[in-house]
């Protein structure tokens, strides 16, 4: 394991994450790293997108556990996205959810290789192949953190297997708002609950749990709306109105297809932004100290999420609002909140107001 203190490495990790190309990973280096700690931080930005910066902002003990937990979640996502056989996929998800109960985790199930992969897919497949290095980092964590990660991975795996079965039985789509939100809670609500547990060294209260699950919906719906077209290519739709685009891809007017996707994107945006107030309550509920790296990480996360929803509003033909655009500008906006709860509150309330104003805009005819 590396001996350089994490507080010295943190600025370099944050700057790296602001400028790294996630579309051109250094596969040769990633395949040859043998040190588990080095691999953990080298693969993270290619697995975690904007979450990587948020994790690097955390205090050292929580950062390592969050990185390990996130990479396991990314592996589950990779099984969901890239495993070609639906029934086998569900078994693989459940198997991965149980493997951390062993004293020495067994090898992660392999994914049958396909041909139509982009570089992000390849970096995720590499992570699955080298999961043993993540396991080695996991085994060095304190028992309380290992227990929290086991619960996270188990709950998320169970939920994703449930969703995979729904897609398989329902012609590739989720039906109704309840199924969609349940999926979001499984996929990102569980990681948010895990993060709260790490930050306050105890499980979330019932009130925190309610807000955490709503935050999971807010953030996961961003992932859903961003990838509508990509998901349709693999035969998946998170709204039942997309079923005809999955099964009749070569028929129908192109403009009608575009309008269907635009309308779904707009509806999901509104559904997500109605949950904007939950993020402020979640941060307030953790009762963080006066100086808190965790507060800065939380603001990083909501600023990245806010940037996405601004772009999504433009894409859906809705009014949009201003805010920091690039990763470095977002880092500069978030850093002072490490030392100022008041500044944190101002940012959260401004984002909350912006979300609420767009959610209330009349629907286009």
Residues 14-33, mean pLDDT to the nearest whole number: 90
Could you tell me if 197 and 329 lie in one domain?
yes
Residues 84-109, mean pLDDT to the nearest whole number: 95
Domain final residue, candidates 169, 193, 211: 169
- Mean pLDDT for the chain? 93
Could you tell me if 274 and 364 lie in one domain?
yes
Could you tell me if 214 and 297 lie in one domain?
yes
Could you tell me if 159 and 246 lie in one domain?
no
pLDDT at position 116: 81
Could you tell me if 349 and 319 lie in one domain?
yes
Could you tell me if 76 and 199 lie in one domain?
no
Could you tell me if 96 and 158 lie in one domain?
yes
pLDDT over 70 at 73, yes or no? yes
Q: pLDDT digit string (tens) for 136-151?
A: 999 999 999 999 999 9
Segments forming the whole domain that contains residue 51: 1-169
Could you tell me if 130 and 175 lie in one domain?
no
- Whichever domain contains 15, its CATH number is 1.10.600.10
Residues 68-88, mean pLDDT to the nearest whole number: 94
Domain final residue, candidates 169, 190, 207: 169
pLDDT at position 253: 66
Could you tell me if 117 and 180 lie in one domain?
no
Domain final residue, candidates 130, 150, 169: 169
pTM: 0.94
pLDDT band at 364 (very low <50, low <70, confident <90, very high): low
Q: pLDDT digit string (tens) for 274-297?
A: 999 999 999 999 989 999 999 999
pLDDT over 80 at 98, yes or no? yes
Token pair of 200 as six digits: 């306050």
Could you tell me if 89 and 238 lie in one domain?
no
Q: pLDDT digit string (tens) for 208-267?
A: 999 999 999 999 999 999 999 999 988 999 999 999 998 765 555 666 889 999 999 999
Could you tell me if 16 and 6 lie in one domain?
yes
User: How remote is the C-alpha of 364 from its chain's centroid?
Assistant: 30
Q: pLDDT digit string (tens) for 195-222?
A: 999 999 999 999 999 999 999 999 999 9
Three-state SS sequence of the chain: CCCCCHHHHHHHHHHHHHHCCCCCCCHHHHHHCCCHHHHHHHHHHHHHCCHHHHHHHCCHHHHHHHHHHHHHHHHHHHHHHHCCCHHHHHHHHHHHHHHHHCCCCCCCCCCCCCCCCCHHHHHHHHHHHCHHHHHHHHHCCCHHHHHHHHHHHHHHHHHHHHHHHHHHHCCCECCHHHHHHHHHHHHHHHHHHHHHHHHHCCCCCHHHHHHHHHHHHHHHHHHHHHCHHHHHHCCCECCHHHHHHHHCCCCCCHHHHHHHHHHHHHHHHHHHHCCHHHHHHHHHHCCCCCCCHHHHHHHHHHHHHHHHHHHHHHHCCCCCCCCCCCHHHHHHHHHHHHCCHHHHHHHHHHHHHHHHHHHCCCCCC
Choose from 58-62, 120-124, 130-134 the range with maximum mean pLDDT: 130-134
Could you tell me if 157 and 197 lie in one domain?
no
């Amino acid at each position: 394991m590396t001996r350089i203190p994490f507080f010295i490495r943190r600025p370099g990790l944050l700057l790296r994450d602001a400028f790294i190309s996630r579309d051109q990973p250094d596969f040769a280096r990633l395949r040859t790293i043998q040190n588990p700690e080095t691999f953990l931080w080298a693969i993270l930005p290619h697995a975690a997108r904007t979450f990587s910066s948020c994790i690097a902002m955390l205090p050292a003990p929580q950062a390592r556990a969050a990185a390990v937990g996130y990479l396991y979640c990314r592996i589950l996502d990779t099984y969901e996205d890239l495993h070609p056989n639906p029934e086998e996929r569900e078994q693989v998800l459940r198997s991965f959810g149980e493997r951390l109960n062993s004293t020495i985790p067994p090898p992660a199930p392999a994914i049958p290789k396909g041909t139509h992969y982009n570089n992000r897919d390849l970096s995720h497949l590499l992570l699955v192949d080298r999961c043993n290095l993540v396991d080695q980092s996991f085994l060095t964590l304190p028992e309380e953190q290992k227990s929290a990660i086991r619960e996270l991975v188990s709950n998320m795996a169970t939920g994703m297997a449930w969703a995979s079965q729904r897609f398989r039985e329902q012609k590739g789509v989720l039906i109704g708002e309840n199924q969609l939100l349940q999926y979001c809670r499984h996929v990102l609500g569980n990681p948010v609950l895990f993060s709260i547990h790490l930050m306050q060294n105890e499980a979330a209260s019932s009130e925190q749990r309610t807000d955490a699950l709503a935050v999971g919906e807010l953030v996961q719906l961003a992932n859903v709306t961003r990838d509508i077209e990509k998901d349709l290519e693999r035969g998946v739709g998170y709204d039942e109105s997309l079923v005809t685009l999955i099964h009749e891809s070569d028929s129908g007017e192109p403009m009608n297809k575009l309008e269907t996707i635009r309308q779904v994107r707009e509806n999901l945006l509104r559904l997500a932004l109605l949950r904007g107030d939950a993020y402020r309550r979640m941060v307030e509920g953790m009762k963080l100290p006066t100086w808190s790296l965790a507060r800065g990480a939380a603001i990083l996360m909501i600023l990245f999420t806010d940037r996405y929803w601004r772009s999504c509003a433009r894409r859906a033909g809705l009014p949009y609002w201003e805010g920091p655009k690039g990763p470095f500008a977002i880092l500069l906006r978030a850093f002072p909140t490490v030392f100022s709860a008041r500044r944190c509150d101002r940012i959260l309330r401004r984002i909350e107001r912006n979300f609420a104003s767009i959610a209330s805009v009349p629907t286009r005819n």
